[in-house]
Amino acid sequence: MSFHGITHIKAEEALSLPEEISYQPGQVASKTLTQNAAVSLTLFAFDKNEEIGRHVSSGDALLTVLEGKARITIGEGVHELSQGQTVLMPAGIPHAVYAEECMKMALTVVFPAEKEA
């Protein structure tokens, strides 16, 4: 098995995550930095009023708002987040993300360890 670490950003260089992804009119844009059986790290840019509908993840998802404001639904709870705020969306709990205004976020999903056969 080969190691595929974090890609699509420059190593050993200070950067601003919000500058690593651009808004697309009427869309949710995404940029995957890494994805494997253990973890996924993705940047998202939402145009105003765009959303990722209610769904369930097999891993714990840590969402950090990098820019703008979002309404996050987790189970029956609703959370208003703004720049710099983070929320944990537990595995197996339905959740959704809605951009109250143009919004960028970083999403880290940690998946359960694979059971050995």
**Structural domains of the chain ordered from first start:** 17-110 (2.60.120.10)
d(CA 46, CA 112): 28
The DSSP result for 6-56, as a single string, is --SS-TT----GGGGS---TTSEEEEEEEE-SSEEEEEEEE-TT-EEEEE-
Looking at residue 1, its pLDDT comes to 45
Instruction: For the chain, give the mean pLDDT.
Output: 93
Mean pLDDT of 4-11: 81
Model confidence over 24-77: pLDDT tens digits?
999 999 999 999 999 999 999 999 999 999 999 999 999 999 999 999 999 999
CA distance 39 to 92: 16
At 8, phi and psi to the nearest 5? 70, 10
97, pLDDT greater than 90: yes
